[in-house]
Structure 1
Amino acid sequence: MVNCNGELLAEDKAIFTHNNRALKYGDALFETVRYVNGTLFFWEDHYFRLMASMRILRMEIPMEFTLEFLEEEIKSTIKSNGLENGTVRVRLTVFRNEGGRYTPTNNNISYVIETSSMESPFFIIEKGTYEVELFKDFYVNKDMLSNLKSTNKILNVVAGVYAQENGYANCLLVNTDKKVVEAINGNLFLVKGNEVKTPPLSDGCLDGIIRKNLMKIIAGSEELDLVEESISPFELQKVDELFITNSIVGIQPISKYRKKEFDSKVAKSLVGKLNARARIG
């Protein structure tokens, strides 16, 4: 079952018309949330990011769009699919209603909630090879729109096709200043000695939920030093570890970039702390 504006519908039922603005203009935002046995991981962070993003895009936020309302809508959708006692990937998409061309006729919104089952109730470090390459055909803009979790992801799509065609697990994206900003599906962290570095939002990376929480964990650590600083492509082969973060996987270590192979010691030390923070938060 899919939840469209509070109505539960069969997955094969048509919901949109050809005038849907998410389809025509990418006029939409989305949140991907991990649910485990009644708990939505980092739900407050997801909710407040969505509200802030809707304001930036000048979408009208309905009065009923409270933290509690959307949580209940998500959980009722999960229950309708018989997944309430399991591990679930949730996607909440918010889009501006039909009307207009580039300029909308109104700023009212609709929403859709989709769910699918997952296996592990915890963030885990997957074993195996995870090789990446730089994607340099197109560049990420250094602006606030790049920080948003919007459906304008054609650069990521093309990078994904490139990775697939060339046998890579992922690609690293660069901005217009040729700085490395993120992976196709998450934020990027580098480890060298005790220093853990991640690009600043001003470089155009996604304002990621796991990024935010992991930065707090690292900042509170006595063993690690957090640095928020631009990353040059030349640094990638000089560090001890590279890893990617997102709300579904948690932490994904990179095992190889070009001729350099990486360790995952720090990534493994952080995943347990991230699981603990997710349960509390």
Structure 2
Amino acid sequence: MVNFNGTILSESDSNLTTENRGYKYGDALFETLKVVNGKIFFWEDHYFRLMASMRILRMEIPMNFTMEFLEAEILKTLEANDLLKSSARVRLNVDRGEGGKYLPSNHEKVNFNISSEVHNNPFYTIDDQLSYRVDLYKDYFMAPGLLSGLKSNNKAIQVIGSVYAKENDFDNCLVLNTNKSIIEALNGNLFLVKGDKIKTPPLEDGCLKGVMRKQILELLAKDVNLLVEETSISPFELQKADELFITNVIKGIVPITNYRKKTFKTDFAKKVVAKLNAKLRLT
């Protein structure tokens, strides 16, 4: 069951057509949420990122799009799918409906739809036995700027890059911008660990304004023994790093174990995961 503008419908009756602007032009935004026992992880951060993104795309934000309203609609969707008392992955999508070419025929119209599915792990964990191999994706590059950091439906590089990774037996790829700096992985932000220095690409380089990225930066900032920098990362730095890890809301932290001939440790990532789970238990 899906939620279409507040009405619970079967997927076949969801009112999404080939004329939908999200389908035709990528004129849509989305948030991927992790919900456990009815608790939406980092909901406030997701909500404000969505509102900021809608303003950047010049979407008219409906008066009823409050944080409380959308939260209630998410929980209503989970209840309809019998997922309110379990772990779930939720996608909240907003678009400008149907009509028009590049210019929307009804500029003020905004639809939302919510879908959900079971997510098996309610906690953030790291599997010691799991290898995770990555390489650079160099067929196409991201242009730095506000649009690159949006969670929009235009994810061509992520799609093609994922196909490339599968074809070459990689678990993920690292994306570069037009300045040839590494900005992120295909499905999350990147952190580099070298001694007591932690680096992650700045938003100005074109990386996603990740909700989990924000959480990790806040946790690391509390450790006075660490030097945390939001600064550009060159491909040449990767093999000199002690650790590399990817962050996103669904999986938390995913340590990279192999990049080309280099094998990385996972000790620091495990410590950060422990702090992240402790924070979630306290909030």
Q: Same-fold call, TM > 0.5? A: yes
2:159 alignment partner in structure 1 = 157
Instruction: Give the aligned partner of residue 139 of structure 1.
Output: 141
CA contact (8 A) 2:2 2:14 kept: no
Whether the 8 Å CA contact 2:201–2:232 is kept in 1: the answer is yes
Structure 2 gap segments, 5+ residues each: none
* Separation in structure 2 between the aligned mates of residue 39 and residue 163 of structure 1, nearest angstrom: 33
Moved more, 3-12 or 198-207: 3-12
3-state SS in 1 of match to 2:11? coil
| Counterpart contact for 1:41–1:279, Cα < 8 Å | no
How many angstroms apart in 2 are the aligned matches of 1:145 and 1:276?
Answer: 34
Amino acid at match of 1:229: T
**What is the CA-CA distance between 1:224 and the residue it aligns to?**
2.1
Deviation of residue 245 (structure 1)?
A: 0.3
247, 250, 255: which one aligns with 1:248: 250
What residue is the counterpart of 1:54 in the other structure?
54
Which runs of 5 or more residues in structure 1 are unaligned? Answer: none
- SS where residue 12 of structure 1 aligns? helix
Deviation sequence 1:110-158 (CA, Å, 0-9, x none): 0110111111211111331100000000001101001111111001100
Which whole-Å deviations, capped at 9, do the CAs of 1:204-237 have from their partners, x for residues lacking one?
0000000011101101113322111100000000
Kindly tell me the number of residue pairs found equivalent between the two proteins. Answer: 281
CA distance in 2, matches of 1:169, 1:11: 31
Counterpart mapping for 1:99-110 below 5 A: 99-107=99-107, 108-110=109-111
Matched, 1:11 2:11: yes
Q: Distance in 1 between matches of 2:15 and 2:251?
A: 29
Deviates more, 1:5-14 or 1:227-236: 5-14
The amino acid across from 1:8 in the alignment is I
Deviates more, 1:116-125 or 1:182-191: 116-125
**Superposition pairs for residues 107-256 of structure 1, below 5 Å?**
107=107, 108-127=109-128, 128-256=130-258
Letter in 1 for 2:115: E
State how far apart, in whole Å, the 1-side matches of 2:192 and 2:60 are. Answer: 38
Q: Is the 8 A contact 1:39 1:279 kept in 2?
A: no
**Are 2:132 and 2:258, in contact at CA under 8 Å, matched by a contact in 1?**
yes
Q: Is the 8 A contact 1:44 1:67 kept in 2?
A: yes
Percent of pairs identical after alignment? 56
2:48 maps to a residue whose letter is F
Q: Which amino acid aligns with 1:163?
A: A
Alignment deviations for residues 16-37 of structure 1 (CA, whole Å, 9 cap, x no partner): 2221101110000000011011
1:173 partner SS: strand
Instruction: Determine the C-alpha separation between the residues in 1 that align with 2:226 and 2:252.
Output: 19
4+ residue runs of structure 1 moved beyond 4 angstroms?
A: none
CA distance in 2, matches of 1:110, 1:126: 39
- Which residue type is aligned with residue 65 of structure 1? F
SS at match of 2:13: coil
Distance in 2, matches of 1:92 and 1:22, equals 13
Please report how far the alpha carbon of residue 277 of structure 1 lies from its aligned counterpart in structure 2 after TM superposition. 2.8
